[in-house]
Structure 1
Amino acid sequence: MSHSVTTWYLEQTSPADLLFAAAGPPAEQDVRIVRSEVPSPEFSRFLYTAVGGDILWTDRLDWPYARWAEHLGRPGVETWVAYGRGTPAGFIELDAHPEGAVEIAYFGLLPAFRGRRIGGWLLAYGTERAWDLAERWPERERTTRVWVHTCSDDGPHAKANYERRGFRVYETTVTQEAEAPMPGPWPGAGPLTPFPDSAAR
């Protein structure tokens, strides 16, 4: 069995393209965003599987420790993590490429934190950090373009979220992908369901 997957490639070509700059989290949310400055394959793999387990993120599942360490140790690779009341809520990974291009390689929230208006702030904040990335990495060129790709498997609101932050579609592809079970955050976890709202205590 296979299904059709539409992939959209989006970009910003100026810091002025960013809409809804990251002024702060939703007023009722106790959320902060912190850069994970020490490369940690264990932590990054946790974020990858916890966020992507129910939206078919599978391309890094077979990465060995050494490949994670090599990737995370590259100049210009950054992981920014949103914490809700001290608990990892989601992350955005930036990856600097030649000629001033910065890719938003991964972005998303753990299922328990979706639908709380955290994602828009995290995306805006992470995009700002993509534009000023060279300030933290003098060996990298000044950012001239920020780009990302998302697909129809990522959820019904993913593309619109990027567009609301000022990203524009520059390419669209459609492919046939084999059906695959949702891996969950660890083998055997299966499809995920949101946890009860811990704030309602």
Structure 2
Amino acid sequence: MFGQPRGGGMQEPPTITRVSVAVTFLRMNERPAAFAPSLPDNATVTHLRAPSNEVYRDLQKNVGGPYLWWLRRVMPDAQLTTVLRNPQLGIHLLTVDGETAGFYELDATPWPIVNLNYFGLMPHAIGKGLGYAFLQHALANAWSGPIRGMTVNTCTADHPRALPTYERAGFRRMKTITEVWNIPNQLGFTIPDHLKA
């Protein structure tokens, strides 16, 4: 409950919540010997070319909402439009039985390195054996070109299986740093107490 300041009026509720996360940066320097397992027959991955800001923010909200994906959701419209029209950016949508199940985003801007900017599943698709196969699809896609490596980062706000899954796929930890985020409360996240700074 918010108390009254000395001036007599009610205090405004805070507009941000400070969140402290440990961010781990990972790298893969060699193409995996094989990519497996495959996605099931009822799953399809489609290259989503230059989606609208609204479609993209909806993906960010529905996939990344439980993990505090906030930066792209508050990015100014013109800036986000420029990001989404970058020809070096590839957004790949997973559908299962015709229903959106997740997406990943490959960024070749730092060529010859490709960064896996975002990777995740919709809440209803988690726990069905899709995650590792979908990650393998992302790796095979990135390594289909003449690249020298891949990078990705994950943090303590992500799904607890994210880091071990990246390591299982062949990524190796480079460093871990602590970041403090000022997350706008208007986004409506449920922020775990252990992450609050």
TM-score range, shorter chain: 0.7 to 0.9
Aligned-residue offset at 1:128: 1.3
Whether 2:35 is the aligned partner of 1:25: answer no
Residues 42-191 of structure 1 mapped to structure 2, 5 A cutoff: 42-132=54-144, 134=145, 142-177=146-181, 183=187
Once the two structures are superposed, residues 96-129 of structure 1 have per-residue CA deviations (whole angstroms, 9 ceiling, x without a partner) of 1334011100010111111111111111101111
Residue 2 and residue 49 in structure 1: after superposition, are their counterparts in 2 closer, same or farther (change >3 A)? closer
Q: Secondary structure at the match of 2:165?
A: helix
Distance in structure 2 (CA, Å) of the matches to 1:68 and 1:2: 24
Distance in structure 1 (CA, Å) of the matches to 2:141 and 2:128: 22
Q: Secondary structure at the match of 1:103?
A: strand
Q: Is the 8 A contact 2:36 2:136 kept in 1?
A: yes
Once the two structures are superposed, residues 20-73 of structure 1 have per-residue CA deviations (whole angstroms, 9 ceiling, x without a partner) of x1442247xx22212113443332221111111121111111223322221121
Distance in structure 2 (CA, Å) of the matches to 1:35 and 1:179: 30
Distance in structure 1 (CA, Å) of the matches to 2:48 and 2:65: 21
Q: Is the 8 A contact 1:90 1:108 kept in 2?
A: yes
Q: Is the 8 A contact 1:10 1:147 kept in 2?
A: yes
Q: Secondary structure at the match of 2:73?
A: coil
**Tell me, which stretches of 5 or more residues in structure 1 are unaligned?**
135-141, 192-201
Residue 65 and residue 180 in structure 1: after superposition, are their counterparts in 2 closer, same or farther (change >3 A)? closer
Aligned-residue offset at 1:145: 1.1
Distance in structure 1 (CA, Å) of the matches to 2:166 and 2:87: 25
Larger-Rg structure: 2
Q: What is the TM-score normalised by the length of structure 2?
A: 0.78
- Which residue of the partner structure matches residue 11 of structure 2? none
Distance in structure 1 (CA, Å) of the matches to 2:52 and 2:18: 35
- Please tell me the residue identity of whatever aligns with 1:35: H
Q: Is the 8 A contact 1:92 1:106 kept in 2?
A: yes
95-104 or 6-15, larger mean C-alpha shift:
95-104
**Tell me, which stretches of 5 or more residues in structure 2 are unaligned?**
1-16, 191-197
Poorly superposed stretches of 4+, deviation over 4 Å: 1-4, 176-182
- Which residue of the partner structure matches residue 13 of structure 1? 29
- Please tell me the residue identity of whatever aligns with 1:97: T
Identity within the alignment, %:
30
- Please tell me the residue identity of whatever aligns with 2:97: R
Residue 145 and residue 71 in structure 1: after superposition, are their counterparts in 2 closer, same or farther (change >3 A)? same
Distance in structure 1 (CA, Å) of the matches to 2:54 and 2:186: 21
Q: Secondary structure at the match of 2:157?
A: helix
